[in-house]
Amino acid sequence: MTGGTMDRPLTVDEYAPLAQAQLPAATWHYVEGGAGTESTVAANRAAFDRVRIRPRVLVDVARCELSTTVLGDPVGVPLGVAPMAYHELACDEGELATVRAAGSLAAPTVVSIFASRTFEDIAAAAAGPLWLQLYWLHRRDVLQKVVRRAEAAGFRALVLTVDTPRLGRRLREARHGFHLPPHIAARNLDGAVTGFLHDRHDGSSALSRHADAFIDPSLNWSDLDWLRSQTRLPLVLKGVLTAEDAAHAAELGVDGLVVSNHGGRQLDGATATLDALPEVVRAVAGRCPVFLDGGVRHGTDLLKALALGAQAVFVGRPVLWGLAADGEAGARQVLSTLRDELEDAMALSGCPSPKDLDPTLLARGPATAAQHGFHGPAEG
């Protein structure tokens, strides 16, 4: 990219082909791929497209305020970076570039346990709140050490991924033989445990072997007590899609839920996140904040999720597109574009603050309007 006005992408989607041109084919398919037929990836986008906005007029929107509070921390926008492993796959500075980009918006970043930079270096580069994403590891001693390092580095919350007892069937990774380059590693974990990620394997993804060897599929509700005993940080569960699980989590006193299907990378055919959001919000009934990720590409997507009860929305793949296309500047531009589009959408909808967003702002087709709790009229 030359950096000229005519060359700068004007939408988030325009970063995808730029990223693909920069990345090796196997890496691109690792970033972009989903599970199975990738129907859940498509469903995440289709869910946003089905929802329409009912704008209100004659509202003073001379100033739109995007700042809010997330898990007790002030943020500049109800938008954050979802956890993704190995940002160095996209750019040499990896997670350092990501957190600097997010920090320019005072936005939170959820750092993966499989980050390619150390927690301490990431924290030193960050200007926005950091949360740490965890998988439930076979080795509790490793998990305990990771949590304590994150606390010492100033991370503000733990996000336990609960939708990955095993890795989904990620066919693109298998077909393209994805493996980590030798210079990229999970810097916060034991290299002796994760070293085989760099090996080539015919017919299967190295990451699927990694998940089988490293992630404990026996995780259940009773295990949350142990994790909470190890930390004073808020505990957020990521990967909740049903009212039943949301209600039980709230009863147990978790500090937040992320409505997520892992970007369509786990269960092919799972519910789209925007479709699941209303039932989760209703089940929680204000007992803890609800967040969302999956399929977010436009500021209007943010507006729709916030109107349905998400306190903040997290974006994944597009940040890696920005990193691959133009490093920190590209990631910053992706996030800034979403922020600016959200502000435009709020102004044009007659909503000067996130507090003004609620389900009455939205409409959708007659077959699903009542099911999902939309208060506006269904479209004919």
pLDDT in tens, 132-170: 999 999 999 999 999 999 999 999 999 999 999 999 999
Distance CA 262, CA 362 (A): 25
pLDDT at residue 373 in the model: 53
Average predicted confidence (pLDDT) for the chain:
92
In order, the DSSP letters of 8-27 are S-SSSTTHHHHHHHHS-HHH
User: Is residue 34 classed as helix, strand or coil in its secondary structure?
Assistant: coil
What is the bridge-based pairing of β-strands 362-363 and 52-53?
antiparallel
What's the structural domain count of the chain? 1
pLDDT(320) > 50: yes
pLDDT(5) > 50: no
pLDDT(204) > 90: no
Q: Is residue 124 part of a domain?
A: yes
Q: Is residue 337 part of a domain?
A: yes
pLDDT at residue 266 in the model: 96
Distance CA 272, CA 258 (A): 13
Q: Is residue 10 part of a domain?
A: no
State the burial class of residue 180 (Cβ atoms within 10 Å of its Cβ: 0-12, 13-18, 19+). Answer: buried
Give which of 133, 143, 137, 74 is closest to 109, Cα–Cα. 133
Binding residues for glyoxylate: 30, 135, 170, 260, 262, 265
User: Is residue 65 classed as helix, strand or coil in its secondary structure?
Assistant: coil
Q: Is residue 368 part of a domain?
A: no
User: How would residue 87 be classed by pLDDT, with cut points 50, 70 and 90?
Assistant: very high
pLDDT in tens, 229-286: 999 999 999 999 999 999 999 999 999 999 999 999 999 999 999 999 999 999 999 9
* CATH number of the structural domain spanning residue 105: 3.20.20.70
pLDDT at residue 361 in the model: 98
Binding residues for FMN: 83-85, 112, 133, 161, 238, 293-297, 316-317
Based on the residue annotation, tell me whether 262 is a catalytic residue of this protein.
Answer: yes
Report the share of the chain in percent with pLDDT over 70: 88
Q: Is residue 1 part of a domain?
A: no
Distance CA 289, CA 29 (A): 33
In order, the DSSP letters of 332-378 are HHHHHHHHHHHHHHHHHHT-SSGGG--GGGEE--TTTTTTTT--SPP
Q: Is residue 372 part of a domain?
A: no
pLDDT(3) > 60: no
pLDDT in tens, 50-72: 999 999 999 999 999 999 999 99
Q: Is residue 75 part of a domain?
A: yes
Query: Interior CA angle at 273 toward 272 and 277, to 5°?
Result: 125
Tokens read off for 235: 């505990």
Which H or E run includes 182? Answer: none
Tokens read off for 294: 């999956």
pLDDT in tens, 326-350: 999 999 999 999 999 999 999 999 9
Distance CA 30, CA 320 (A): 11
User: Is residue 157 classed as helix, strand or coil in its secondary structure?
Assistant: strand
Binding residues: 30, 83-85, 112, 133, 135, 161, 170, 238, 260, 262, 265, 293-297, 316-317
pLDDT at residue 214 in the model: 84
Catalytic residue, chosen from 262, 298, 372, 375, is 262
Q: Is residue 6 part of a domain?
A: no
Query: Interior CA angle at 193 toward 293 and 122, to 5°?
Result: 50
pLDDT(203) > 70: no
pLDDT in tens, 150-159: 999 999 999 9
> Which range marks the domain in which residue 302 is found?
15-361
